[in-house]
Structure formats: C-alpha cells, structure tokens
Amino acid sequence: MSWVILLCRDTPVGEYKFIFAQLERLSAGDTIYVNYNGTRYTYAVTRLETVNPDQADKLIYPFERPMLTLVTCTPVGTAKYRLLVVAEQVNPSGSVPPVAIPDDGKSDNSGIGAAKMPANSPTLLENISSSLLSWKG
C-alpha cells in the first residue's frame, strides 16, 4: 500500500506539531518507520525534492514497491514551496514478515524504541507571542 502524508511543519498546536520539523535533514538511505494497525512498516528514503505548490503532478510517479511520500511546506514558516520526501517500503515485503507492535495500551508505543515527540513544548510563534504579551516596554 502506498501513502502520501501532508502536514505543516509549523502547526501551532496539537500532539504532532513538531513531527515534520526537521524533515529536510533526511537523505537518501535514511529509514522512516510508520506504525499502522499494529504493524511497523519500514521505508528507505530514495529522494527529496522541492517543488512549487502547483506541481501536484510530482506526486504521480511509477513504482514497483509500495511508496511513502511525505509533503510539507518549505522553508519553515512559509508556504512558498513544497518539500517531498519519497521513500520505498522495505518491510514488510513478500519475503520478510511484518513486525507486530505490542499493544500495551499506551499511545506512545513505549517498549519498541519510539521516541515521544515534545508535543507540549511551545512553538516559536507561541514563545514570541508570550514574550510580547508579557513585555512592559
């Protein structure tokens, strides 16, 4: 199954507000894990590409294996371009069984090496706003 996931990197609130914050630091060969329906899917990054917002055709490309494409605005804080991170599924494949994720009732997937994102940390915009509101200049 192939996926396209779109998310703003500077969404000011919510549990996933930093999830794509450093997406541009990925490079070909890096690993991305996606946990879905109790299965961990492993993808290897094949390319990064920066495109114009009207270049939706860049999301259509031939593939032989399931693919994952992550899309976000770039540079951070603007909507000038879109960053595409394209990755090929390497596991589960036809020859390697999927890795089952233990259901321990915790949403952070503890016990399988997943790091919890700092969702409660304030964003840059929240920090600036708070500073301006508290300033008595």
CA–CA distance, 63 with 132 (Å, rounded to integer): 50
Model pLDDT, residue 116: 43
Average predicted confidence (pLDDT) for the chain = 76
Answer positive or negative: Cα dihedral of 79, 70, 86, 75.
positive
Kindly state the average pLDDT of the residues 119-127. Answer: 59
Inform me whether the pLDDT recorded for 58 exceeds 70.
yes
CA–CA distance, 90 with 93 (Å, rounded to integer): 6
DSSP state of 81: E
Per residue in 1-50, pLDDT (tens digit) is: 688 988 876 665 666 667 787 888 999 999 999 888 888 999 999 999 99
CA–CA distance, 17 with 76 (Å, rounded to integer): 12
CA–CA distance, 66 with 68 (Å, rounded to integer): 7
Which CATH topology does 3-134 take? Sortase; Chain: A; (2.40.260)
Domain ranges of the chain: 3-134
Model pLDDT, residue 63: 83
Write the CA distances from 94 to 4, 51, 53, 54, integer angstroms: 22, 33, 36, 36
Q: Burial of 17 by CB count in 10 Å (0-12 exposed, 13-18 middle, 19+ buried)?
A: buried
Query: Which is more confident, 45 or 135?
Result: 45
Q: What is the pTM of this model?
A: 0.65
